[in-house]
Amino acid sequence: MYWRVSKLRRIQFFSALVLFLSLAGCYHTTRPGRIGSAAPDFSVQDSDRKVTLSQFRGQVVLVNFWATWCAPCQAELPSLISLQDRIKPKAMTVLGISIDVDDDAYHRFIKQRSVNFPTVRDPEQKVASVYGTTGWPETYIVDRNGVLRRKIVGPIDWNSSDINQFLNSL
């Protein structure tokens, strides 16, 4: 009796393992794969402009997902503004994608804070969904060839020497 139960459990285990492995190979997504893979192109249009990732080909792009109501995003913003001043001459840019729903609050915020990099509003979070963004701020660094080089979750100091070294290496 013990041998039959044990054999049955082994069969169930191996069947489950085979099912898992076969389903894992079928999973497809539009989210970025691993670091080193092509960053998904996107297009987003708000009341001010239309932006696509491909329009920045040949530049290093920091795609920063943020919101005006997000306290960590607000804390990170001054260093992003400073970074944009430093990297613009090097054919690099920060591209902000705001998930704000309130158009007026968004425009007031970027004007009051003197945001110096291109930013676009994506209230339906279509681009955030493509990238698998789950929190804000979240930044993806894309190299000059459109390859995803780094994902940064949460606010950081964009003036740090580590970040500057990394960006300069691209």
Tens digits of residue pLDDT in 134-155: 889 999 999 999 999 999 999 9
Tens digits of residue pLDDT in 21-65: 333 333 233 445 578 999 999 999 998 899 999 999 999 999 999
Return the higher-pLDDT residue of 30 and 69: 69
By CB atoms closer than 10 A (0-12, 13-18, 19+), residue 170 is middle
Correct CATH for 35-169 of 3.90.1150.10, 3.40.50.300, 3.40.50.10090, 3.40.30.10: 3.40.30.10
pTM: 0.80
Q: Do the bridges between strand 60-66 and strand 138-142 make them parallel or antiparallel, or are there none, so unpaired?
A: antiparallel
